Amino acid sequence: MLLICIASVLVCSAAEFSLVVPESSVSAQLGSSVVLPCSLSPPLNSKTFEVQWYKNEDSKKTVMLHKAENVQEIRRDARYKDRVSLIGELEKGNISLELNNFTAADEGEYVCHAQSISWYEKASVNLVVKALGSPVVVSSADAGILTSHVLGVNVTCTSGGWSPKPTLTWRDSAGRELPNTHTHYRTDSEGLVSVSSWLLVSPSQSDWISCTVGLNHQEVRESRIVPLRGFWKAFILTLVVSLIIIIIIFTILLILFKKAKAAVNSHESLQSESVPLNTTENTKRVSLTLDPSTAAKCLKVSRDGKSVSYKTLNSKSDCKFPDVVSKEKFGSGQHYWEVMIWDKTSRAQPKSSWCVGVTQKPHSETQKPHSEKVLRALCYEEGSGLYANTHDFSKISTECNMYTLGLHLDCERRKLTFYNADKPFKHDLYTFNTIPQGTYYAFLSPGVKDDHPIRILNQD
C-alpha cells in the first residue's frame, strides 16, 4: 500500500507543469506567417492534452482547439479557418501556434491554454503588426524672411503605412538632430499610421537636411534634400533680366506707336485698312447677341447671349467647328464688332481651336456649315495655326496668341476684314474681297478641343 501511495504522488507530481512564452511582444509583417511560441516546462508529451488558443478580447471564440489528439472545429472563429495550426512536436511539449496571412485585424493578445487530466496552465502572447511604411517624401518651399533678415525655407517630410507608430527625426549634414515640434500622426481604417512634419531652416544652416522615419534603428526609411541655397541670388538675377527685357519691349512698342500715330496724322493711304473705325465715319460699332436656337446641340450659349462654349468635351463630334450665329443681320452699311478669343485675366490656357466670321444665313442640319458660298471665316487649330477658310486654307502668321479679334463688315464694298484688336492700332490679319451680296449674320464656333468660351464684346 505504501508503494502504491508513493507511485501516485510521483505521477501527480510529474503531471504538474508551467507554460513558457516570450516576455516581449511578437511582431510580424502584414501578409506573412508568424509563430506564437508556447511550450510546457518540463517538456511533457502533450499529445493527449487539451490545447486551446483564443484571443483574449473574446475568449468565447476559439482560434485553435486540440483535443483527443485531434483539432476540433467546435466554437472555432471562422476568421481563422485554414489559417492556423500547431507547429508539431507535441510529444516534446511544444504547443506553439502558427498563423498564416497575417492581417492588421489579427493584432492583439492571444492566450495559450494547456490542460492535462490533473493540471492546467495558461499564458498570454502579445502579437503586433510590423509594417514598414512608404518611402519618405521630402519637399521644400520658400518661407520668406525668418528673423534678422535671414531667408528661410519650409521643408516638409511625409510617409505612410507604418505599424506600430513610427518615430520621425530631422538631422543636418553634420548629423545633429534638429528640434522637431511640428509632427502629426494619422491612423487609417486598417490601423496603419501616416506621419507628416515640417521644419523651417535657413539655406546657410546646412549643406543638406535629412528626414528619417522608422520603427527602430534597423527598420528605417530616409530621404534628404538640399535647401535652396542661392535661390534669392538667382531670383534677383532673373528679375533684373526680366525688367531689362520689359524695358526693351516697351521701348520698341513706344517707337511703333509713334510711327503709327505719325502715319495717321499724315493721312497715309493705308488708313481705312489699318484703323477702320477712326478713319471711316460711316462704320457702326455693333453689340451682338447670339441666337441659342441656331446653336449646335453640343454647344452651350450663356444666358446673356454673349458667349458660347463646347459642353461635351472628349466626346466624338461630326464637325470640328459646331457653330451659333447672331440674332442681328446686316445687308447694308459698315459694321464692326469684336470677339474675345482668350480671357487673359483667367487662369485658362489659350484655346486649342476656334472659328469666327460671317454667314449669309443661319445654317440648318441640312446645310453644310463651311460651304464656301455661305461662310467667310478665320479659323485656328492647335498644330495647324491660323488660316482663312479659302480653297487653299491660306495660313496667316501671328506673332503671339491673340486675346481679341476684330471684324469689319463692309456690305457696300463687299469686304470682310479681320483685325488683331490687341494692337494699339488694329493690325490687319486678313481680308475677304468681293464677298457675295446678301444678308449676313455673325458666326462663332468655340471648336471641340477644349471647353473655354469665346465671347462677343460690347461696343460702346
Q: What is the pLDDT of residues 409-430, one digit of tens each?
A: 999 999 999 999 887 666 788 9
Three-state SS at 171: strand
Instruction: Read off the pLDDT of residues 82-128 as tens digits, 9 standing for 90 and up.
Output: 899 998 789 999 999 999 998 888 888 999 999 999 999 999 999 98
Q: Which amino acid is at 287?
A: S
Cell (9 digits) for 3: 508503494
277: closest CA among 383, 417, 392?
Answer: 417
* Confidence band of 354 (pLDDT split at 50, 70, 90): very high
Residue labelled with grid coordinates 485675366: 345
Cβ pair 87, 95 in contact under 8 A: no
pLDDT category of residue 336 using cuts at 50, 70 and 90: very high
359 pLDDT above the threshold of 60: yes
pLDDT confidence band for 335 (50 / 70 / 90): very high
Burial of 3 (0-12, 13-18, 19+ CB in 10 A): exposed
Note the pLDDT of residue 6: 46
* pLDDT for position 38: 95
Q: Tell me, what's the pLDDT at 194?
A: 94
Query: Which residue pairs, CB below 8 angstroms and at least 24 apart, start in 263-267?
Result: 264/425
Of residues 288 and 14, the one with the higher pLDDT is 288
As a whole number of angstroms, the distance between CA 426 and CA 406 comes to: 8
Q: Which cell goes with 405? A: 479679334
Report the pLDDT averaged over residues 428-442. 92
Instruction: Return d(Cα 23, Cα 41) in angstroms, integer.
Output: 16
Same fold, 17-129 and 137-231: yes
Q: Of 16-25, 308-317, 429-438, which gets the smallest average pLDDT?
A: 308-317
Distances from the Cα of 133 to the Cαs of 25, 185, 211, 416, in angstroms?
A: 20, 13, 14, 67
The helix (H) or strand (E) run that includes residue 14 is helix 2-15
How far apart are the C-alpha atoms of 171 and 244, rounded to whole Å? 42
Give residue 231's pLDDT: 53
Whether 209 contacts 197, CB under 8 Å: no
Q: What angle do CA 387, 288, 413 make, to 5 degrees?
A: 60
Domain 17-129 in CATH 1.20.120.550? The answer is: no
- Would the pLDDT of 398 be above 60? yes
Residue 386, CB half-sphere, CA atoms under 13 Å: how many? 17
| Amino acid found at 41 | S
At 183, phi and psi to the nearest 5? Answer: -120, 135
Following CA atoms 434, 440, 441, 443 in sequence, which dihedral angle do they give, to the nearest 10 degrees? -20
| Residue whose grid cell is 512698342 | 253
Report the residue count for the chain: 460
Looking at residue 10, its pLDDT comes to 44
Domain 137-231 has CATH 1.25.40.10: no
The answer to whether 153 and 143 have CB atoms below 8 angstroms apart is yes
Q: Is the pLDDT of residue 143 over 90?
A: no
- According to DSSP, the residues that pair with 222 across neighbouring strands are 212
- Domain range summary for the chain, segments of one domain joined by +: 17-129, 137-231, 284-456
Query: Reduced to 3 states, what is the DSSP secondary structure of residue 270?
Result: coil
Q: Dihedral (C-alpha) 270, 272, 278, 283: value to the nearest 10 degrees?
A: 180
For residue 265, name the pLDDT band (cuts at 50, 70, 90): low
CB-based burial label for 60 (10 Å; 0-12, 13-18, 19+): exposed
Q: Beta partners for 441?
A: 329, 359
Name the most confidently modeled range: 80-94, 192-206, 395-409, 414-428: 80-94
The CATH superfamily holding the domain 284-456 is: SPRY domain (2.60.120.920)
Query: Vertex 361, ends 356 and 364: CA angle to 5°?
Result: 95
